[in-house]
Amino acid sequence: MLQYFIILLDDTSASYCHCENTKMERRLMPLETLRKGIRFGMMENLMIQFVYPDYELPTEYNEVIEKIDHSKIKPLADAADVLILNKWQLSDLPNDIPVVLRTSKKDLFARYNELEEVLNKVERLNVVITDVETFTEDDFNTYKLVLSALSSNLERLYVNDKSPQLNLLTDRMMLSQMNNCGAGDTNITLAPNGKFYVCPAFYLDEETDSIGDIEHGLNIKNEQLYKFDYAPICRHCDAWQCKRCIWLNRKNTLEVNTPSHEQCVVAHLERNASKALLENIRKYGTFLPEQEDIKEIDYLDPFDNKDKWQ
């Protein structure tokens, strides 16, 4: 069931997930399209999230936007509800809103130590690895070490009564079921051209790949394939923090419901690191008592275990 409605205000709106926005030319969504989009969101009872470019919008746009309850996803801290960082500029981060850090694996592996201070300050940090599909076996090993180091930092913080959230490690501890991106299922996107897309990445990748438009409504073909029950591998997975990025799925396997090996292993390395973190924090006392232990498993890719569930 649709719950969220993402409105890309401009072609250069900041990307907050795996897909890079390479569009350089500004194209602001026409005001009338914005009005119609908001109306659509209101009628469908959706929570609207505006994704901003890095420049100030005209006054009339702000007036229209402020007429409805919404969230602002921005590359600038000013009045943002979610701040997007596309570079490792980690000074003066706000401590009251979630921060999304988009990073390559190379930068993460080289600079993860800098996150210790960030975690000491922010309420929530989402780290998005933008080139996860390029992970090699060596990268998996390195990532495991990085997660271990970050886990130690978090353990120290939690033991000292601080509880920042880091998507890679704390989400899984706190979840009791799958919590994925939901693109195409619980959320859809309206682009500046007035067309609907599964998510911003589908628009940025290929403009013809729309699922309807604001004039004629939504038209999601094979919509069941965006739902969790129709993902054969994911149905058997408990790396609940995985975003199950539909765009990455299609990019790497040609199917929206099937993740790649790299996505699965990365998610399971995070899951296992979360398991260790949870166990370590619990050594100090009661912590998340309502949460079950995260089970020990002997695989990093549920696909490799398919003989057991097929």
Amino acid identity for residue 267 in this structure: A
Site string for other proteins, 259-288 (x = CB under 8 A): xxxx--------------------------
Residue with tokens 């979840």: 175
The C-alpha atoms of residue 262 and residue 98 are separated, in whole angstroms, by 26
Q: Which stretch binds other proteins (CB under 8 A): 161-169, 258-266, 278-286, 289-297?
A: 258-266
Rg (CA), the chain: 20
Report the candidate in 191, 229, 199, 264 with the shortest Cα–Cα distance to residue 18.
199
Among 47, 225, 276, 297, binds other proteins (CB under 8 A): 225
CB of residue 259 vs other proteins: minimum separation in angstroms?
8
> Within 10 Å of residue 140's Cβ, how many Cβ atoms?
15
Q: In the complex with other proteins, which residue's Cβ is closer, 148 or 252?
A: 252
Which residues within the stretch 288-307 sit at the binding site for other proteins (CB under 8 A)?
Answer: 303, 306
The C-alpha atoms of residue 227 and residue 183 are separated, in whole angstroms, by 9
Do 98 and 133 touch, CB atoms closer than 8 A? no
CB of residue 65 vs other proteins: minimum separation in angstroms?
33
Which residues within the stretch 232-251 sit at the binding site for other proteins (CB under 8 A)?
Answer: 232-233
The C-alpha atoms of residue 60 and residue 10 are separated, in whole angstroms, by 15
Q: In the complex with other proteins, which residue's Cβ is closer, 22 or 310?
A: 310
Map residue 119 onto helix, strand or coil: helix
**Does residue 254 touch other proteins according to CB under 8 A?**
yes
Among 255, 279, 284, 299, binds other proteins (CB under 8 A): 255
Do 204 and 21 touch, CB atoms closer than 8 A? yes
CB of residue 252 vs other proteins: minimum separation in angstroms?
5
Among 222, 279, 284, 288, binds other proteins (CB under 8 A): 222
Burial tier of 83 (Cβ tally within 10 Å: 0-12, 13-18, 19+): buried
Q: Which stretch binds other proteins (CB under 8 A): 95-103, 146-154, 165-173, 221-229?
A: 221-229
Report the candidate in 116, 122, 86, 126 with the shortest Cα–Cα distance to residue 104.
86
CB of residue 139 vs other proteins: minimum separation in angstroms?
15
Site string for other proteins, 121-140 (x = CB under 8 A): --------------------
**Does residue 216 touch other proteins according to CB under 8 A?**
no
Q: Which stretch binds other proteins (CB under 8 A): 10-18, 53-61, 189-197, 252-260?
A: 252-260
**Does residue 180 touch other proteins according to CB under 8 A?**
no
CB of residue 235 vs other proteins: minimum separation in angstroms?
9
CB of residue 302 vs other proteins: minimum separation in angstroms?
9
Burial tier of 120 (Cβ tally within 10 Å: 0-12, 13-18, 19+): middle
**Checking DSSP bridges between strand 187-190 and strand 196-197, what pairing results, if any?**
antiparallel
CB of residue 73 vs other proteins: minimum separation in angstroms?
28
Report the candidate in 140, 185, 149, 198 with the shortest Cα–Cα distance to residue 169.
149
**Which parts of this chain interact with other proteins (CB under 8 A)?**
221-222, 225, 230-233, 252-262, 303, 306, 310
